[in-house]
């Protein structure tokens, strides 16, 4: 079964970590496939390579997502429009997008919906 996850949860939301734990559980289940992770709205902050480095939940969630994606070959897509509005990708020379994430528009999310058996939304 192919799953896609829509992550809308802000980095300081418990739902951001719930989405991460769900993604891991899907990878660990033999008959499930994680087709696409789509980060939208405030969830784009999870893809900021310069996440605040304090002890807060926001940094914790962003760092956990970034470390997890570095270890797994998963299609992690950040909405380009939402990222630009939040300063994640202000210009081509000022790209703060963390490794493991790619940019795409809502059209790619629509394609993921068509290709998935199930969709789960967080946030």
Kindly report, residue by residue over 74-114, the tens digit of the pLDDT.
999 999 999 988 888 756 545 788 889 999 999 999 999 99
- Tally of structural domains, the chain: 1
Given 7, 77, 79, 88, which residue is catalytic? 79
Note the pLDDT of residue 93: 47
Domain of residue 69, residue span: 2-122
Note the pLDDT of residue 96: 82
Strand 33-39: give its sheet, edge to edge: 101-104, 76-79, 33-39, 2-7, 118-122
Mean pLDDT across 30-41: 97
Beta partners for 104? 79
Mean pLDDT across 21-26: 97
Contacts of 119 (CB under 8 A, 6+ apart): 3, 4, 5, 6, 113
Q: Is 36 a catalytic residue?
A: no
**Higher-scoring residue by pLDDT: 121, 58:** 121
DSSP percent split of the chain into helix, strand, coil, nearest 5 = 45, 25, 35
Which CATH number does the domain housing residue 103 bear? 3.40.1260.10
């Amino acid at each position: 079964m192919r799953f896609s996850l829509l992550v809308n949860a802000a980095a300081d939301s418990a739902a951001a970590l719930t989405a991460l734990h769900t993604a891991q559980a899907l990878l660990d289940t033999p008959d499930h496939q994680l087709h696409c992770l789509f980060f939208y709205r405030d969830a784009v902050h999870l893809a900021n390579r310069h996440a605040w480095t304090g002890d807060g939940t926001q940094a914790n969630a962003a760092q956990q997502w970034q470390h997890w994606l570095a270890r797994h070959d998963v299609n992690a897509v950040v909405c380009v429009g939402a990222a630009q509005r939040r300063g994640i990708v202000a210009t081509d020379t000022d790209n703060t997008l963390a490794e493991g994430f790619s940019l795409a528009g809502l059209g790619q999310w629509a394609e993921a919906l068509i290709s998935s058996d199930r969709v789960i939304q967080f946030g």
